[in-house]
Structure 1
Amino acid sequence: MKCLVILGLVALSEGLVIIPLTKVKIMRETLREKTVLTNFLDENLDNTSQNAAQDLNISRHPLRNYMDLVYVGNITIGTPPQEFKMLFDTGSSDLWVPSVYCHSTACRIHKRYDPHLSTTFRLSGRPVDLIFGSGRMVGFLGFDTVQIGKLVDVFQPFGLSEYQFVTEHSPFDGILGLGYPSMALQGTIPVFDNLMRRGVISQPVFAFYLSTNKKNGSVVMFGGVDHSYHKGELKWIPVSRTRFWQVTVNRIIMNGQFLGCFRGCQAILDTGTSRLLGPTEPIDNVKRFISARHVGYEWVVPCYLIPRMPDVIFTINGMDYPVPAQAYIRKGHRGLCFSSFQGGTENWHPRETWILGDVFLRLYFSVYDRGNNRVGLAPTL
């Protein structure tokens, strides 16, 4: 049976849900150490007047920030509704939750969906099998009503786990993927595509504002853009491949030197990854620039060196997007801090590819435009 390796996930090619589990592995390790278990816009139009016209059509959904590691929001599934804490993930395309048929530790400590309690549940009978380098989720496919705030998505396909080792140390129960349908389980329609097809949202767009060091205030919005969350105009970037939210990067510079991406490279905007990931060699160069040393799973630096550390500058579609040390270094204890860079993407992507996770997305309000296959970025307020 053919195998696929996608972002650290080794998945069987029959009956699979493809979810990038590198992010889960990274987050699980970090959460364990911290003991946490748990055409809608046009640049030629005036943003203020457009915002007033569209404001009522925007569905805003609050997200909770867990220690700058993951952002979680609630949804309900079923009739009557069963509530779940979910990771809204631009790096995958499928929806899944633990089920009452799952008795592994990761399920017992999370909310489990019970299909017998829902009058709108329909069984597919199709198996779902996820195999990871660090775990597995096995289950089956079902259909039910999914509600995100006031947005109601009927007959939505989703996975119900029967065994999993995915969210054991995570503060979310399951994952709601917001990637392109080309990455979803074959024959199924992702949540956002169903919302578009059924006319539940007025515009084919969603956006993220991710707060820093605050539990509350983060938000995912559907059907429009609230410009009060960013400074200046949105700068639009074409999607280079309609699978992930993937864009072309012109260059990456640190301390006045090319860090990588000498002839251009690719980057994926991924709300489900907490860190900045890249190929091993340029990431090793970062570690040398900041004098980091390896301790356990982490790269450690003295906190007092942060003001002296250079920005990492990503040039995308001709615009510079700097990431300062205050963003890519995480505070620790006893005067030690941790690098948020991690290497190894060459194991999953044949071309030089970077994954711009929450470290980047906390700095830049991000808009995902499925109608025009583009991403909009602007500095956050």
Structure 2
Amino acid sequence: MRPLPILLFVSLLGMALAAHVQIPLRRVKSMMEKLMEEGKWETYQKKRDEYRKRLPHELISGSQIAYDYGDIVYIGQLSIGTPAQRFNMILDTGSSDLWVPDSSCGGIPGCPDYCNKLPKDQCPQFCDPAMCCPGSSTLPLNARVGIQLDQNPCDLKHRFNSSASSSYQKNGQQFTIQYGTGSAQGFLGQDVVCLGDSNVCYSKQLFGQATQIADFFENQPCDGIFGMGWPALSVDQVPPLLNNVVSLLDQPLFNVWMDRKGTQQDVVGGLFTYGALDSVNCDTSKIVYTPITSQTYWQFAIQGVSQGAYSSKMTYQVISDTGTSLIGAPQAVVDAIGKQLGGTYSPFYGAYTIDCNATPDDIVITIAGQPFNISYKDYIVSLNGDCVIGLFGFTFGGFGPQWILGDPWIRSFCNIYHIGGVKIGFAPAYHSS
């Protein structure tokens, strides 16, 4: 299921074309939910684990964090080229690279890859003859029922056509981005890239044109990834888009608000605001800032966590990550909180399940000496008819972050990513329920 068109609201202020841009996020069905409905989740987990075992941990953590994007449920939009080609993107603060599928990835755009491999007389039996079977007869599609054929992960994506853009410039440098469940690889190109449909653009942005993407992207409701981490995190040291357009914004920051939408699909479920504070959805009178401890991820320190009778006063390095649907924490912390809440560990989910009618106390995280309370409304997540505690065991390795504060955290507190101040802030989020 593809996201519905995303509205974009742009406000231009001042004579110098300074601006702030708001891009609504659309809440879509996650890959986990989709695969569970199809009965394929356990098979996917096995393949993912087998893949991870084949990779040295240093390779995974060298350029990207060693987790996958299996749970992402929020999608935004970017425009590339002249005229603009629009892409549905993962807006990801946990990486710094921008890439989209290239037109050379997969078969004919809009057609499964297997259409290219079939004999001409068989193509119309399985594919749209007008679109996917040039040179063949237009026989009725009467032999497709019950047939399962492989397709390329790019086949159902929007793909960038460089020949259709008058502003495109070839670069050609090869790129590979390694994730915990696969990779995207191809070459770099240069073109105009804009935030949504706005005129906040950079005319010479380098970005990845993926000629191959991992199978797990096939089930993602997105085309590519828009990384919003710091430049040092970029695989090939390509300056991120945000760093290139930050001078065009009213303020050198962006903030994220995520709404509580439960299992609703294809609804506006949040808002990215670039260049201004979102005082409509966030209590900006109560922002608490803390310094960034590593200009790679949006990384900072917390001074402990508690829930009920459980309490830890350890200092942890954590990252704020819009690309993760749950909260990653050391397994010992996950186990302690899961048991404190009366949960039962489920290997199927990789998390603790809990009664869907439970209304337990808050999980409290201490930042800059102040408590931040996460309500059960945000940390209990509905999956496949069950309810899970939104914490999963996470191990980065080396000197990287020890926690990932994903969507349950961002639903509780608007996150303000202050590029100019090299700091991150948190403000209580407003919700209707």
Cα deviation code 1:195-220 (max 9, x no counterpart): 02xx3223211111111106215211
Cα deviation code 1:61-112 (max 9, x no counterpart): 2211225842111111111111100111111111000111112622112111
Verify the 8 A CA contact 2:346 2:353 in the aligned structure 1: no
Give the greater-gyration-radius structure (CA). Answer: 2
Q: CA deviation at 1:293?
A: 2.8
Q: What's the counterpart of residue 415 of structure 2?
A: 366
> Counterparts of 2:29 and 2:91 in 1: how far apart (Å)?
16
Tell me the amino acid that sits aligned with residue 75 of structure 2: V
Quote the sequence identity (%). 27
Q: CA deviation at 1:310?
A: 3.0
Q: What's the counterpart of residue 32 of structure 1?
A: none
Q: What's the counterpart of residue 58 of structure 1?
A: 20
Computed over aligned residues only, the root mean square deviation of the Cα atoms, in angstroms, reads 2.3
Question: Which of 217, 223, 226 is the aligned partner of 1:173?
Answer: 223
Q: What's the counterpart of residue 183 of structure 1?
A: 233
Tell me the amino acid that sits aligned with residue 299 of structure 1: A
Verify the 8 A CA contact 2:345 2:353 in the aligned structure 1: yes
What secondary structure does 1:274 align onto? coil
Segments of 5+ residues of structure 1 without an aligned counterpart are: 1-35, 39-51
**1:281 and 2:332 equivalent?**
yes
Q: How do 1:39-118 residues align onto structure 2 when only pairs under 5 Å count?
A: 57-66=19-28, 69-103=72-106, 105-118=152-165
Cα deviation code 1:283-303 (max 9, x no counterpart): 122222232231523435343
Verify the 8 A CA contact 1:298 1:338 in the aligned structure 2: no
Q: What's the counterpart of residue 244 of structure 1?
A: 297
Residues 301, 131 of structure 1: alpha-carbon distance in 2 compared, 3 angstrom cutoff: closer
What secondary structure does 1:105 align onto? coil
What secondary structure does 1:263 align onto? coil
Q: What's the counterpart of residue 122 of structure 1?
A: 169
Verify the 8 A CA contact 1:99 1:162 in the aligned structure 2: yes
Q: What's the counterpart of residue 344 of structure 1?
A: 394
> Counterparts of 1:351 and 1:73 in 2: how far apart (Å)?
28
Verify the 8 A CA contact 1:37 1:170 in the aligned structure 2: no
Q: CA deviation at 1:247?
A: 1.0
Q: What's the counterpart of residue 376 of structure 1?
A: 425
Residues 292, 326 of structure 1: alpha-carbon distance in 2 compared, 3 angstrom cutoff: farther
Verify the 8 A CA contact 2:19 2:248 in the aligned structure 1: no
Q: How do 1:176-325 residues align onto structure 2 when only pairs under 5 Å count?
A: 176-196=226-246, 199-213=247-261, 215-216=267-268, 218-231=270-283, 232-258=285-311, 260=312, 262-290=313-341, 291-304=343-356, 306-307=358-359, 309-325=360-376
Residues 280, 81 of structure 1: alpha-carbon distance in 2 compared, 3 angstrom cutoff: same
Cα deviation code 1:292-323 (max 9, x no counterpart): 2315234353434521x332110000111111
Verify the 8 A CA contact 2:74 2:269 in the aligned structure 1: no
Tell me the amino acid that sits aligned with residue 180 of structure 1: W
Normalised TM-score (structure 2): 0.70
Residues 296, 101 of structure 1: alpha-carbon distance in 2 compared, 3 angstrom cutoff: same
Tell me the amino acid that sits aligned with residue 275 of structure 1: L
Verify the 8 A CA contact 1:37 1:169 in the aligned structure 2: no
Verify the 8 A CA contact 2:354 2:389 in the aligned structure 1: no
> Counterparts of 1:145 and 1:304 in 2: how far apart (Å)?
47
Segments of 5+ residues of structure 2 without an aligned counterpart are: 4-12, 31-71, 107-150
Normalised TM-score (structure 1): 0.79
> Counterparts of 2:95 and 2:300 in 1: how far apart (Å)?
16
Residues 117, 63 of structure 1: alpha-carbon distance in 2 compared, 3 angstrom cutoff: same
Q: Please, which moves more after superposition, 71-80 or 226-235?
A: 226-235
Q: What's the counterpart of residue 47 of structure 1?
A: none
Q: CA deviation at 1:115?
A: 0.9
**1:139 and 2:186 equivalent?**
yes
Tell me the amino acid that sits aligned with residue 184 of structure 1: S
Q: What's the counterpart of residue 116 of structure 2?
A: none
Tell me the amino acid that sits aligned with residue 230 of structure 1: C
> Counterparts of 2:240 and 2:400 in 1: how far apart (Å)?
27
Q: CA deviation at 1:58?
A: 2.1
Q: CA deviation at 1:143?
A: 0.6
> Counterparts of 2:256 and 2:402 in 1: how far apart (Å)?
22
Verify the 8 A CA contact 1:96 1:174 in the aligned structure 2: yes
Verify the 8 A CA contact 1:279 1:352 in the aligned structure 2: no
> Counterparts of 2:382 and 2:345 in 1: how far apart (Å)?
15
